[in-house]
Amino acid sequence: MVIAIDGPAGSGKSTIARLLAERLNFTYINSGNLYRAITLRCLRKHISPTDPEKALACAREAYIDYQGQQVLLDGEVVDSLLHSDEIDAWVAQLSAIVPIRHVVNDLIRKIAQGKHVVVEGRDITTVVFPDAEYRFFLDASPESRARRRYLQGISQLSLEEIADGIRKRDEIDRNKAEGSLKIADGVVYLDTSDLTIEQVYDRLIEKIQI
């Protein structure tokens, strides 16, 4: 079974996907973290994430997998490194490179094969798993999403700077040549701006039949 969760950055996808996976005992896959891992690898190798040919080669040479709910990059657990301001500044541009999207999408399908999974990320419900048994699109206002990121305490930026970055990233995501941010037909839409995580969980789990 595949439960696919789509939506913009900061809408609560990761938190709710982790919670669903834990409570249902499903495998959790975060597509955004796979792009972030490739971005990290490029930066470590002094490759510009906006250089299509070199970034693609970097992606193809990477060994990326999941160990439980943790991302392995070339054998190293890198979760704590994936949400830095530097990664945030580059990941949307790297993920707009179409051949890299193909690499990541193939990797997601490979990891998910033969498993019950909760997989989240932009374009999961439209491109990667358009036929998933359950598809959800979580949304929230830019202000609400920025506040959540700010309260995580990871970023060194101000609340206003985070909000501005989110708006710019939304613009990039909406205009990607492939895998753009959009709500597909048949997807359950939920605005999480004023909902707690448990309220979001309750709204989703009532739609899911195990």
Tokens coding 30: 């975060």
The mean pLDDT of the chain is 91
**What's the CA gap between 110 and 27, in Å, rounded?**
13
Q: Average pLDDT, stretch 101-126?
A: 93
Confidence of residue 172 (pLDDT cuts 50, 70, 90): confident
Q: Is residue 193 part of a domain?
A: yes
User: What range does the domain containing 94 cover?
Assistant: 2-201
Q: Is residue 196 part of a domain?
A: yes
Q: Is residue 59 part of a domain?
A: yes
Position 187 scores a pLDDT of: 95
**What's the CA gap between 13 and 108, in Å, rounded?**
16
Q: Is 39 annotated as a binding residue?
A: no
> Which tens digits make up the pLDDT trace of 21-77?
999 999 999 999 999 999 999 999 999 999 999 999 999 999 999 887 899 999 999
Is residue 111 a contact partner of residue 183, using CB atoms and an 8 Å limit? no
- CB proximity list for 3: less than 8 A, separation 6 or greater: 17, 20, 24, 26, 117, 118, 119, 132, 133, 134, 136, 208
**What's the CA gap between 61 and 108, in Å, rounded?**
16
Share of the chain above pLDDT 90, in %: 64
> Which tens digits make up the pLDDT trace of 115-156?
999 999 888 999 999 999 999 999 988 888 888 888 877 788
Please say if the pLDDT value at position 179 is more than 80: no
Q: Is residue 209 part of a domain?
A: no
Q: Is residue 208 part of a domain?
A: no
Q: Is residue 207 part of a domain?
A: no
Q: Is 14 annotated as a binding residue?
A: yes
Q: Is 192 annotated as a binding residue?
A: no
Q: Is 10 annotated as a binding residue?
A: yes
pTM score? 0.82
Q: Is 115 annotated as a binding residue?
A: no
Q: Is residue 106 part of a domain?
A: yes
Cβ neighbours of 136 (radius 10 Å): 26
Position 99 scores a pLDDT of: 96
Number of domains in the chain: 1
Position 69 scores a pLDDT of: 83
Confidence of residue 177 (pLDDT cuts 50, 70, 90): low
Instruction: Write the DSSP assignment of the chain as a string of letters.
Output: -EEEEE--TTSSHHHHHHHHHHHHTPEEEEHHHHHHHHHHHHHHTT--TT-HHHHHHHHHH--EEEETTEEEETTEE-GGGTTSHHHHHHHHHHHT-HHHHHHHHHHHHHHHTTS-EEEESTTIIIII-TT-SEEEEEE--HHHHHHHHHHHT---S-HHHHHHHHHHHHHHHHT-SSS---PPTTPEEEE-TT--HHHHHHHHHTT---
Position 143 scores a pLDDT of: 86
Confidence of residue 168 (pLDDT cuts 50, 70, 90): confident
Specify which residues 27 forms β-bridges with: 117
Q: Is residue 119 part of a domain?
A: yes
CATH of the domain at 8: 3.40.50.300
**Beta-strand pair 76-77/70-73:** antiparallel
Q: Average pLDDT, stretch 70-93?
A: 94
Position 97 scores a pLDDT of: 94
**What's the CA gap between 78 and 70, in Å, rounded?**
8
Q: Average pLDDT, stretch 95-113?
A: 94
